[in-house]
C-alpha cells in the first residue's frame, strides 16, 4: 500500500493543485480520491493500472470543486478567496498567471496531457467526453496560453 | 504551429517542476489518513433485498431534496455515500478520525471519549459533559451532582447541587465551571474549593465564557429572561444586558472576546462585549436553527437548520467577519445533531440520526472526509445497553487536543452544539 501511495500521491496532489489552484483544496481532493479508491479496492479490477483510475477521480473532483466555486460566485454566495500563489511554490509566475485564464475543463485537459502524459484518446475516456472535445479544449487552451505569455513577455 | 510546440515544451517542463505549497507536510498527513483507512477497511457486503428497497426510498427522497437546490450539484457526488449507508449493527471500531484530537460524545449510555485512532472509552453514567480547556478533565452532570472526571473515567471531585445539573461549561483558563441547576446558574472553582449562585432565572442555553480579554476567565454570558446578560462572575458585576429578543439556543464568543454570537431559531444576533446589538443575520426562509458551533478563530459559524415538518435539514456556514449570505454545505433528509469543529478548525462533524451516521467534512474545500456508520450500536455500552433503542442519538459534544495541555495560552477545546 505504501509503495502505491508513494508513487501516486505526488502527481495526484500536483494535478489537483494545478486545476483548483488552492493548496488546501488540492490536498483535500487528492486525499479524498485516495480514500475513495481504497474504499472501492474490492471492486477494482487489479489487472488494470491504478494510476488512470485514481487520476479520473482526482481530476473530476477538482473540476467539480472549481465549478462549484464558480457557481457560488454567480449566485452571490460567498466565495473563499482564491489563495494567492505562495512563496514556496516552485513554479513560474508566468505559468501561474497564464493557467488562471483557462477554465477548469481546459486546465484539466492541459494537466492530463502535459503533466500526466495521457493521449487525447485516453483523456477522452477519463473525462467521458468525445475525443474531438478534448482536442478542442487543448487547442484553445494552448492558444490562450500563448497569447497570455506573449502579452506578459511583451509587457515586461 | 511552431509557437504552440514551444508552449507545449515549456508547459511540460514547468508543470513537472511544480510543487504545491508544503507538499511534504501534505503527503505526510495524507499517508497517515490513507494508511489508517486501509488498515480498517472491511470487505464489501451486498445489501439485502429489504434493505435495498429502504435505501432506494431514502435515495429518491435525498435526490429530490438535492435536486431542488443549486448546491445539489456540489453535493451530488456525496449522495452515493449517504444512500449506501448500510446500517452497521456491529459494535466494532469507529475507524480513525479525519483530524487529530479526542472527541467527546454524549450518548444515552453516558459520555465517551473517542481517540483519533477510533478507540473509545465510556466515562460512566452521566447525562451531559464538557471538556476542560486543555482536555485534562471532563465536567459531567449526574442527577444533582457536578462531577469532574479524568479522561480515564476516575472521579476527581463531586459538587452536590440543589436541583438536576445541566450544561456545564469550563472557563478558558480552567479555573471556573459554570453550570445550571434547576433554573439557576452556578459557578464553581475548577478545584471545587468554592461555589456560588450567579443568577436565578437563567435560560436553558449553555453559558459562554469570554475568551481572549482581561479579566481572563471571569466574564460569562448567559440567557436571561429573553435577554443576553454578561457578568463578571467573581464580583457578580453586570457588564451588560441586551435588549429583549429571541431566546438563543447557543451563545458563542469570537476568539478575541469582542463579539458575542447568539443563535436562536430564526436568526443570528451579534452583540458587542457589553451586549449591544451590532449585527443580525436571518436564516434562509423556512429554516429553523437546531444547533450551531463556532470555529476556533471565531470567524466561521456552522449552523444546522431544519425545514418545517423536519423531513430535511441543511448545514449552513456563516462568515462572521463578512457581511455575506451563508454557504450551504450539505442538504440531507432527516435531522442533524451534535455539530462540532475539530480542534484545528479544519473539520466539521455532526450526526445524522436518521441515517445512524456521523458525517465529517472539510468546509473549506466542500469535501466529505468520512462517514461513520452504526453509531447507536457503537455507544450502547454500560448497564443500560440492552435498553438503548430509544436512547438519544450519540451527540458530538466537543473536540479536544490528542494529548492534554496545561501550559497556556492555547485555544480551548471546542464545544459542540447544545443538547
pLDDT tens for chain B, 419 residues: list them: 555 667 777 788 788 777 888 888 889 888 888 887 777 654 433 334 444 444 444 444 443 343 333 333 333 333 222 322 233 333 456 778 888 899 999 998 899 999 988 888 889 889 999 999 999 999 999 999 999 998 888 888 999 999 999 999 999 988 999 999 999 999 999 989 889 999 998 999 999 999 977 777 789 999 999 999 999 999 999 999 999 999 999 999 999 999 999 999 999 999 999 999 999 999 998 899 999 999 988 899 999 999 988 788 999 999 998 888 899 998 888 899 999 999 989 999 999 998 889 999 998 876 777 888 888 888 876 554 444 445 689 999 999 998 888 766 678 898 888 88
Q: Which residues pair with B400 in a beta bridge?
A: B102
User: Is residue A56 scored above 50 in pLDDT?
Assistant: yes
Selecting from A17, A76, A111 the residue whose C-beta is nearest the C-beta of B20 gives A17
Length of chain B in residues, anyone? Answer: 419
Residue with C-alpha cell 505504501? Answer: A2
Rg of chain B over Cα atoms, rounded to whole angstroms, equals 23
Selecting from A2, A22, A114 the residue whose C-beta is nearest the C-beta of B11 gives A114
> Which residues of chain A have a CB within 8 Å of the CB of B37?
35, 38-39
**Residue in B closest to A44 by C-alpha:** B44
Q: Which residue, among B365, B371, B372, would best test binding to A if mutated, counting the most A CBs under 10 Å from its CB?
A: B365
**Residue in B closest to A38 by C-alpha:** B38
Question: What is the Cα–Cα distance from B39 to A2, expressed in whole angstroms?
Answer: 12
Chain B: nearest CA to A138, how far in angstroms? 10
Express each pLDDT in A87-105 by its tens digit: 334 445 566 667 888 988 9
Strand-by-strand arrangement of the B327-333 sheet: B288-294, B300-306, B312-319, B327-333
> Which residues of chain B have a CB within 8 Å of the CB of A42?
43-44
> Which residues of chain A have a CB within 8 Å of the CB of B14?
91-92, 95
Contact criterion met (CB below 8 Å) for B230 and B217: no
Residue A126: all three cell numbers together: 477519463
The pLDDT of residue A98: 79
A153 in B contact zone (CB under 8 Å): no
CA count, 13 A, side-chain hemisphere, A100: 12
Residue B26: all three cell numbers together: 501534505
Asked if A64's CB is within 8 angstroms of B74's CB, the reply is yes
The pLDDT of residue A128: 86
pTM: 0.59
Question: What is the Cα–Cα distance from B27 to B233, expressed in whole angstroms?
Answer: 47
Second CATH level (architecture) for the domain B117-340: 7 Propeller (2.130)
Burial class (CB in 10 A: 0-12, 13-18, 19+), B165: buried
Residue B235: all three cell numbers together: 464580583
* Check: complex ipTM more than 0.85: no
Nearest to B33 by CA among A25, A30, A60: A30
**Residue in B closest to A68 by C-alpha:** B74
Asked if B21's CB is within 8 angstroms of A2's CB, the reply is no
DSSP class of residue A113? I
Q: Which residue, among B13, B15, B70, would best test binding to A if mutated, counting the most A CBs under 10 Å from its CB?
A: B15
Residue with C-alpha cell 478534448? Answer: A134
Asked if B18's CB is within 8 angstroms of A18's CB, the reply is yes
Chain A, 20-79: which have a CB under 8 Å from a chain B CB?
A: 22-32, 34-35, 38-39, 41-43, 61, 64-65, 67-68, 71-72, 75-78
Q: What percent of chain A has pLDDT over 70?
A: 73
**Residue in A closest to B44 by C-alpha:** A42
**Residue in A closest to B324 by C-alpha:** A78
Selecting from A13, A24, A114 the residue whose C-beta is nearest the C-beta of B23 gives A13
Give the three-class secondary structure for A4.
helix
| H-run or E-run covering A16 | helix A2-20
Residue with C-alpha cell 445497553? Answer: B385
Give the three-class secondary structure for A119.
coil
> Which residues of chain A have a CB within 8 Å of the CB of B7?
142, 145-146, 149
| H-run or E-run covering A114 | none
Buried b (16+ CB within 10 A) or exposed e, B77-95: ebbebbbebeebeeeeebb
Q: Which top CATH class is A2-155?
A: mainly alpha
Question: What is the Cα–Cα distance from A47 to A49, expressed in whole angstroms?
Answer: 7
Asked if A110's CB is within 8 angstroms of B7's CB, the reply is no
> Which residues of chain B have a CB within 8 Å of the CB of A72?
327
Selecting from B19, B27, B362 the residue whose C-beta is nearest the C-beta of A28 gives B362
- Give the 3-state secondary structure of chain B: CHHHHHHHHHHHHHHHHCCCCCHHHHHHHHHHHHHHHHHCCCCCCCCCHHHHHHHHHHHHHHHHHHHCCCHHHHHHHHHHHHHCCCCCCCCCCCCCCCCCCEEEEEECCEEEEECCCCCEEECCCCCEEEECCCCCCEEEEECCEEEEECCCCCEEEEEECCCCEEEEEECCCCCEEEEEECCEEEEEECCCCCEEEEECCECCCCCEECCCCCCCCCEEEEEECCEEEEEECCCCEEEEECCCCCCCCEEEECCCCCEEEEECCCEEEEEECCCCEEEEEECCCCCEEEEEEECCCCCEEEEEEECCCCCEEEEEEEECCCCCCCEEEEEEECCCEEEEECCCCCCEEEEEHHHCEEEEEECCCCEEEEEEECHHHHCCCCCCHHHCCCCCCCEEEEEECCCCCCCCCCCCCEECCCC
Selecting from A22, A71, A78 the residue whose C-beta is nearest the C-beta of B73 gives A71
Express each pLDDT in A112-140 by its tens digit: 988 888 888 889 888 888 989 999 999 99
Asked if B11's CB is within 8 angstroms of A145's CB, the reply is yes
Residues 6+ apart with CB under 8 A from A131: A120, A121, A124
Selecting from B19, B29, B366 the residue whose C-beta is nearest the C-beta of A90 gives B19
Q: Are strands B348-352 and B219-224 parallel, antiparallel or unpaired?
A: unpaired
Question: What is the Cα–Cα distance from B389 to B387, expressed in whole angstroms?
Answer: 6
> Which residues of chain B have a CB within 8 Å of the CB of A32?
367-369
Express each pLDDT in A70-88 by its tens digit: 654 434 333 333 333 343 3
Strand-by-strand arrangement of the B195-199 sheet: B165-170, B176-181, B184-189, B195-199
Sign of the torsion formed by the C-alpha atoms of A118, A122, A127 and A130:
positive
Residue with C-alpha cell 496545561? Answer: B406
In chain A, where the domains are located = 2-155
Question: What is the Cα–Cα distance from B223 to B202, expressed in whole angstroms?
Answer: 6
Contact criterion met (CB below 8 Å) for A78 and B322: yes
Asked if A77's CB is within 8 angstroms of B325's CB, the reply is yes
Selecting from A10, A14, A78 the residue whose C-beta is nearest the C-beta of B325 gives A78
User: Is residue A156 scored above 70 in pLDDT?
Assistant: no
> Which residues of chain B have a CB within 8 Å of the CB of A91?
14-15, 17-19
Chain A, 103-142: which have a CB under 8 Å from a chain B CB?
A: 110-111, 114-115, 142
Q: Are strands B138-142 and B259-263 parallel, antiparallel or unpaired?
A: unpaired
Question: What is the Cα–Cα distance from A90 to B3, expressed in whole angstroms?
Answer: 25
| H-run or E-run covering A89 | none
CA geometry: angle at B35 spanning B360 and A18, to 5°?
70
Amino acid at each position: 500500500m505504501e509503495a502505491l501511495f508513494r508513487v501516486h500521491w505526488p502527481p495526484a496532489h500536483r494535478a489537483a493543485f494545478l486545476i483548483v489552484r488552492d493548496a488546501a483544496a488540492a490536498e483535500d481532493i487528492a486525499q479524498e480520491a485516495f480514500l475513495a479508491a481504497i474504499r472501492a479496492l474490492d471492486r477494482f479490477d487489479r489487472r488494470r493500472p491504478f494510476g488512470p483510475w485514481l487520476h479520473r477521480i482526482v481530476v473530476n473532483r477538482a473540476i467539480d470543486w472549481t465549478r462549484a466555486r464558480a457557481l457560488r460566485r454567480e449566485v452571490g454566495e460567498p466565495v473563499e478567496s482564491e489563495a494567492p500563489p505562495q512563496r514556496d511554490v516552485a513554479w513560474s509566475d508566468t505559468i501561474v498567471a497564464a493557467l488562471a485564464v483557462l477554465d477548469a475543463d481546459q486546465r484539466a485537459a492541459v494537466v492530463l496531457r502535459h503533466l500526466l502524459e495521457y493521449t487525447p484518446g485516453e483523456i477522452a475516456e477519463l473525462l467521458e467526453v468525445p475525443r474531438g472535445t478534448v482536442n478542442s479544449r487543448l487547442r484553445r487552451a494552448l492558444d490562450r496560453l500563448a497569447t497570455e505569455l506573449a502579452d506578459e513577455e511583451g509587457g515586461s | 504551429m511552431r509557437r504552440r510546440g514551444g508552449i507545449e515544451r515549456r508547459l511540460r517542463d514547468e508543470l513537472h517542476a511544480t510543487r504545491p505549497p508544503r507538499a511534504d507536510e501534505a503527503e505526510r498527513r495524507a499517508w497517515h489518513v490513507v494508511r489508517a483507512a486501509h488498515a480498517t477497511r472491511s470487505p464489501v457486503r451486498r445489501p439485502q433485498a429489504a434493505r435495498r428497497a429502504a435505501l432506494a426510498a431514502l435515495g429518491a427522497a435525498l435526490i429530490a431534496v438535492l435536486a431542488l437546490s443549486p448546491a445539489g450539484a456540489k453535493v451530488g457526488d456525496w449522495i452515493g455515500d449517504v444512500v449506501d449507508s448500510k446500517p452497521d449493527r456491529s459494535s466494532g471500531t469507529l475507524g480513525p478520525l479525519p483530524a487529530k484530537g479526542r472527541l467527546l460524545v454524549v450518548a444515552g449510555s453516558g459520555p465517551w471519549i473517542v481517540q483519533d485512532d477510533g478507540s473509545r472509552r465510556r466515562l460512566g453514567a452521566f447525562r451531559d459533559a464538557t471538556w476542560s480547556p486543555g482536555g485534562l478533565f471532563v465536567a459531567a452532570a449526574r442527577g444533582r451532582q457536578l462531577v469532574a472526571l479524568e479522561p480515564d473515567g476516575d472521579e476527581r471531585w463531586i459538587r452536590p447541587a440543589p436541583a438536576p445539573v445541566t450544561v456545564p461549561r469550563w472557563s478558558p483558563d480552567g479555573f471556573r465551571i459554570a453550570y445550571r441547576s434547576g433554573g439557576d446558574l452556578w459557578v464553581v472553582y475548577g478545584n471545587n474549593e468554592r461555589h456560588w449562585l450567579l443568577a436565578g432565572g437563567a435560560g436553558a442555553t449553555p453559558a459562554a465564557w469570554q475568551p481572549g480579554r482581561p479579566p481572563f476567565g471571569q466574564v460569562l454570558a448567559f440567557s436571561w429572561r429573553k435577554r443576553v446578560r454578561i457578568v463578571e462572575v467573581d464580583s457578580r458585576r453586570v457588564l451588560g444586558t441586551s435588549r429583549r429578543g429571541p431566546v438563543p439556543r447557543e451563545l458563542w464568543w469570537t476568539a478575541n472576546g469582542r463579539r458575542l454570537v447568539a443563535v436562536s431559531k430564526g436568526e443570528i444576533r451579534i452583540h458587542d462585549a457589553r451586549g449591544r446589538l451590532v449585527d443580525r443575520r436571518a436564516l434562509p426562509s423556512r429554516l429553523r436553527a437546531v444547533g450551531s458551533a463556532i470555529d476556533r478563530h471565531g470567524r466561521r459559524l456552522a449552523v444546522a437548520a431544519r425545514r418545517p415538518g423536519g423531513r430535511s435539514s441543511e448545514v449552513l456556514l456563516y462568515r462572521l467577519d463578512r457581511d455575506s449570505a451563508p454557504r450551504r454545505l450539505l442538504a440531507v433528509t432527516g435531522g442533524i445533531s451534535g455539530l462540532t469543529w475539530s480542534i484545528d478548525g479544519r473539520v466539521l462533524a455532526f450526526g445524522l440520526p436518521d441515517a445512524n451516521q456521523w458525517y465529517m467534512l472539510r468546509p473549506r474545500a466542500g469535501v466529505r472526509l468520512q462517514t461513520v456508520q452504526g453509531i447507536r450500536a457503537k455507544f450502547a455500552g454500560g448497564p443500560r445497553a440492552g435498553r438503548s433503542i430509544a436512547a438519544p442519538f450519540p451527540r458530538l459534544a466537543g473536540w479536544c487536543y490528542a494529548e492534554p495541555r496545561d501550559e497556556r495560552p492555547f485555544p480551548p477545546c471546542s464545544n459542540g452544539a447544545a443538547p
